[in-house]
């Protein structure tokens, strides 16, 4: 379903969205603003940018409070690491899809394919909806909505089941063993500007290693780093994959 801002959202669509996220607004206009991407912003019209700004701050406070109260055994450094993963763009994009928000986003013509929305767009609308709920109903429903979708992500991180930062691991290994930082070489890129995919290869001291595809250069670099680690440290990768299946 493609929704446009040259007219208001069909009330039925707003009802479906509220049912999907489990919160019913007193003022549905704020929800409509939260769902409106800047690609649809017209002169004297609105988008969700300001709500995203507010939602980012509210999200940080809610997750900090939740971690502080539920993880009493963790020190400040550990809490910070957990929070950084839970509020990351990748995690927020994931839960945004789970909340079905991409089905109700109001987007411009250049973003017609909902299967290839950028992670940033999906993460931003999740933050905007948090802000919209906060404005409409206060902190308690915003808190409940946020924790409902992110609690399991906290549990995953605490169990060390989140995907490791393979680029960081490879960089530490390469600097220790070879005295250099790995280079990431773009081999090819395909697709339209709003939905490109990249193939990237790792090069260390002029030697070519693993390759990886991704919907962003960062994602492709992670896969390339992982493939490289499989080549030079296969035991480490197998251990991490075994943990993720527990």
Q: What is the CA radius of gyration of the chain?
A: 20
Residues 56, 136, 153, 221: which is the catalytic one? 56
CA angle 194-200-202, nearest 5°? 155
User: Residue 91 pairs with which residues in a beta bridge?
Assistant: none
Q: How many Cβ atoms are within 10 Å of 55's Cβ, its own excluded?
A: 27
* Secondary structure class of 108 (helix, strand, coil): coil
Given 32, 127, 136, 221, which residue is catalytic? Answer: 127
Q: State how far the alpha carbon of 88 is from the alpha carbons of 73, 85, 145, 146, 162, in Å.
A: 23, 5, 17, 14, 12
Nearest of 124, 126, 118 to residue 100 by alpha carbon: 126
Sheet with 207-214, strands from edge to edge, namely: 183-190, 197-204, 207-214
Alpha helix (H) residue ranges in the chain = 11-21, 28-35, 49-70, 76-86, 89-98, 119-137, 139-158, 166-177, 217-232, 234-244
Active site residue 56: yes
Which of 47, 151, 16, 58 shows the shortest CA–CA distance to 24? 16
127 counts as catalytic = yes
Residues serving a catalytic function are 56, 127
């Amino acid at each position: 379903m493609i929704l446009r801002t040259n007219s208001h959202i069909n009330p039925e669509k707003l009802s479906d969205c509220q049912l999907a996220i489990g919160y019913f607004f007193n003022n549905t206009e704020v929800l409509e603003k939260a769902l409106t991407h800047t690609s649809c912003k017209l002169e004297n019209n609105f988008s969700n940018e300001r709500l995203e700004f507010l939602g980012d701050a509210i999200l940080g406070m809610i997750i900090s409070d939740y971690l502080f109260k539920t993880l009493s055994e963790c020190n400040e450094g550990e809490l910070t690491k957990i929070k950084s993963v839970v509020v990351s763009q990748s995690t927020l994009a994931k839960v945004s899809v789970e909340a079905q928000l991409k089905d109700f986003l109001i987007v411009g013509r250049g973003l017609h394919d909902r299967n290839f929305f950028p992670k940033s767009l999906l993460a931003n609308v999740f933050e905007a909806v948090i802000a919209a709920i906060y404005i409409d109903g206060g902190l308690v429903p915003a808190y409940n909505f946020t924790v409902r979708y992110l609690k399991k992500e906290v549990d995953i991180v605490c169990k060390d089941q989140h995907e490791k930062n393979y680029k960081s691991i490879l960089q530490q290994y390469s600097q220790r063993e070879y005295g250099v930082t790995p280079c990431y070489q773009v081999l090819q890129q395909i697709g339209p500007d709003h939905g490109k995919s990249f193939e990237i290869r790792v090069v260390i001291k002029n030697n070519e290693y693993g390759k990886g595809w991704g919907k962003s250069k960062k994602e492709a670099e992670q896969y390339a780093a992982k493939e490289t680690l499989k080549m030079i440290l296969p035991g480490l990768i197998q251990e991490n994959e075994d943990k993720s299946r527990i």
